[in-house]
Amino acid sequence: MKLLASVRWRIFLIAWILYSIHFATNVVREHYPAFTLAEHGTFFLDEYQGFHSDIFVHQNGHSVVGNQVLVSVFAAIPLLVFDPLLDALERYSKQKLIQQGVTDADYRTDKPMRVAFFRLVKERGLDLRFGAATAITTVFFMAPITALFLVVFYDLLVRRGMNSREACQLTFLLGFASPLFYRATVLGHNMFVMGGMFFAFVLLWRVRSTEPSSLVSRLGAGFFGGITLATDYMGVIILPLLYGYMLLPRLKTAPWKKAFRESLALVVGSIPPILFLLYSQWSMYGDPFLPGQFWMPRQNAYTELGMRGFDWPAPDLLLMNLFHPGYGLYTWGPFLLLGLVPAIMFKTDKLILPRRERRFVAISFLALLIFSSANQYARLQWNSGFRYLLPLVPFIFLGISDLWIRMPRWTRIAVTIPVLANSWVITVFREFSVEGSWELFFKEGIQLPWFRILRSTAPPDATLLNGQTVPIAILILTLVSVFVIWKLGAKYEAAAEAPALAGVAASVPR
């Protein structure tokens, strides 16, 4: 229990718990390679053909998915651990099918594609297996990984001089008042693009130093930068940004040949994840260099634009990436608007995020926004929620930190309550727009994402699943647990600090 004396441990545990109870039952494209890897050790998805629009029959006769599979490999680990449980659930469902036959799969929703998918899963006897798998991949993969990310963010704020209380406030706002909340509760690769870019940045960040980051840090930064490319082709933008962030400032303190040699560590560090990308593409498509988008059949009008959906940046798409109700950066994260406050208002020698790093954030913002405005697939984000600009979110929060420490307490409270509520409503109701989620909130009240699906697919006479009693009870118990963890940890922390403070007091001359 004395681990709770560490603020970092408390942040990790609280975030893990809160993300876990909000897990969503969405079976996404990243799940299917994870399923076949855990079950058969293969990337081929023949048994899941027809389950997702991004799964297609390749020229080799096997079904494959059209996106990178690195995150699926990681997610396969907890699925493999729990495979006996998943097998037992599948056997139960199939035995029930044998006894009762294929009954009408009732999913009470106004979305016909979700009804059709549920019917397909039910007919295959995979309903319980899929539901449990979504819980496992959130509780034992996405939730702890995101909680660890928050710990790194908190640690960076403290190292930059922010006091622990304010750093905790901003860290929890990042975790629960931003799109991270929504994305942490379902399997997805965008969180790893964000994490890879941010971890690489942290490893390269050197404040007022004439020496470069250590060799280990540069290799690590290269590795995390490579992760961004191995998980999403947005990495072709992120890798040069990271490389420039390391190399260009170094040219001011070292000859260009020395700076170039030092920068090669980033290239070397990026090789392992990039090699995996090439291997996985060769394994699935028979060609290591052509991505899945090249092989996928044309599915909609957007793939006809430009080069397989990549065209010149579109002004309307640029604005939609910022303000669209289904996936806009500022509609899904209104707190991020504070990042637009210019740092010129503050003393530059006392910035948590200094000028050089602010320039990196500004350039990254423009680069990723333009890239996403050229990617016509971004128009389809309404179907899965905000994701393409997710790597920018923690960087914007770093910029907000200098404003946050200067805001009056009442202003912080006034800002925090609505942005937390907005993020929670989006995460729970998961509609195709922010206003759609709020409409359901006013209609249904307090809910949890998985509970809503359970209620919608269970018999209408399941009394316990109706109303708000169960989700309210779960949330109350969870919040009480969170409160106890924090208060108990603070008590242990104070007890641990007491001897040190007493020693300092004794050493002061009287």
What is the domain partition of the chain in residue ranges?
A: 298-406
Provide the Cα torsion 34, 35, 39, 40; round to 10°.
Answer: -70
Say if residues 126 and 176 touch (Cβ distance below 8 Å).
Answer: no
- Within 10 Å of residue 342's Cβ, how many Cβ atoms? 9
Which of 446, 478, 490 is CA-nearest to residue 15? Answer: 478
Asked if the model's pLDDT at residue 301 lies above 70, the reply is no
Residue 63 DSSP SS3: strand
Asked if the model's pLDDT at residue 303 lies above 80, the reply is no
* φ, ψ at 214 (rounded to 5°): -60, 160
Share of the chain above pLDDT 90, in %: 78
pTM exceeds 0.85, yes or no: yes
The residue behind tokens 């912080």 is 412
Cα–Cα distance, 203 to 220 (Å, whole number): 7
Which token pair is 32?
A: 């299917």
Cα–Cα distance, 336 to 400 (Å, whole number): 8
Asked if the model's pLDDT at residue 208 lies above 70, the reply is no
What pLDDT, on the 0 to 100 scale, is given for residue 47?
96
Q: What is the DSSP string of 211-253?
A: SPPPHHHHHHHHHHHHHHHHH-TTHHHHHHHHHHHHHHHHTTT
Asked if the model's pLDDT at residue 11 lies above 60, the reply is yes
- For the segment 38-42, the average pLDDT, to the nearest whole number, is 96
121-140: buried (b, 16+ CB within 10 Å) or exposed (e) per residue?
A: bbebbbbbbbbbbbebbbbb
Asked if the model's pLDDT at residue 377 lies above 90, the reply is no
The Cβ-side half-sphere exposure at 130, using a 13 Å CA radius, reads 23
> Any alpha helices (H) in 375-508, and if so which ranges?
393-404, 409-429, 434-444, 449-457, 469-507
Asked if the model's pLDDT at residue 357 lies above 80, the reply is yes
Asked if the model's pLDDT at residue 1 lies above 70, the reply is no
Cα–Cα distance, 186 to 143 (Å, whole number): 9
Cα–Cα distance, 127 to 49 (Å, whole number): 16
- For the segment 47-56, the average pLDDT, to the nearest whole number, is 94
The residue behind tokens 């939609």 is 320
Say if residues 474 and 21 touch (Cβ distance below 8 Å).
Answer: yes
Say if residues 171 and 150 touch (Cβ distance below 8 Å).
Answer: yes
Question: Between helices 215-231 and 235-250, what is the axis angle to 10°?
Answer: 160
- Within 10 Å of residue 270's Cβ, how many Cβ atoms? 26
Cα–Cα distance, 138 to 21 (Å, whole number): 9
Asked if the model's pLDDT at residue 318 lies above 70, the reply is yes
pLDDT tens digits, residue range 170-185? 999 999 999 999 999 9
In this prediction, residue 264 has a pLDDT band, given cuts at 50, 70 and 90, of very high
> Any alpha helices (H) in 180-214, and if so which ranges?
180-184, 190-204
- Alpha carbon of 370 to those of 381, 389, 490: distances in Å? 16, 10, 45
Asked if the model's pLDDT at residue 289 lies above 70, the reply is yes
The one-letter amino acid at 49: Q
Q: Which of 235-239, 313-317, 383-387, 506-510 has the highest mean pLDDT?
A: 235-239
pLDDT tens digits, residue range 428-483? 999 999 999 999 999 999 999 999 999 998 877 777 888 899 999 999 999 999 99
What pLDDT, on the 0 to 100 scale, is given for residue 147?
98
The one-letter amino acid at 66: G
